[in-house]
Structure 1
Amino acid sequence: MSSEAPQNHRNSNLYVLLLIAITIGGTGFWFFLNRWAAEPVGPTIAKEFAEDFEKECFLELQEERECRKLIGLNHSECLFANVERVTPGSGDQGGDIKHDREGYMTCMREKTGVRH
């Protein structure tokens, strides 16, 4: 009987730690979705920016496959780094958004080495 008490206590501690870990993980996931996944960069803007950089890249490298690879590796990071929420808001009232095309192009040039 005395060996069951420490075992039950240990199980109790594990359940508490598991509950804390799930709570922290859920909060982190919610923060991620709220901050990054919900950023208001539509597919039209993303495609326009990528096409603009692809033109520059192709003029310099003359290699479409290499340009697409470079874009694939760096596009998201540069795109989201150059989006600014001008007025606060969330959900359907997401506020006004500013897309910095030059900032995106500069970021892509720095990360890929394309200088055209």
Structure 2
Amino acid sequence: MSLPVPPKYWSQRRQLFFKPANGYGSKATYRGDKLTKRVWDDILNADYVAQTLAPPSERVVAVDGIQTCDLKLDVRAYVYRGEVQLFAARLYQGQTTNFRTQGGGFAPVYITNT
């Protein structure tokens, strides 16, 4: 984010998600509704991108064909040099994706021409 930042952005932070401009994964990412003033100051003095928060959809997934669980779902486009390389769906619980959730992880995305 570039300085000076209008004070209105602090009041709008709850609708935003902050990511380091040169980061990857979920390292040093913050949901605006979870920010403290100290972290807010860190973001303002670093190279961050602010995005509108887009809550994930949810799906009921069968695990081992028996138990079902509610998992969040998002679809990601992986880009290299400005070109989309692949799409992947991520299934998870909690605030960010992890690979420890039973039934969670990556899922294939198939593109069809209709």
TM range (shorter): under 0.3
Identify the structure with the greater helix proportion.
1
Q: Which has the higher contact order (CA 8 A, sep 6+)?
A: 1
**TM-score scaled by length of structure 2:** 0.26
**Structure label with greater radius of gyration:** 1
**TM-score scaled by length of structure 1:** 0.26
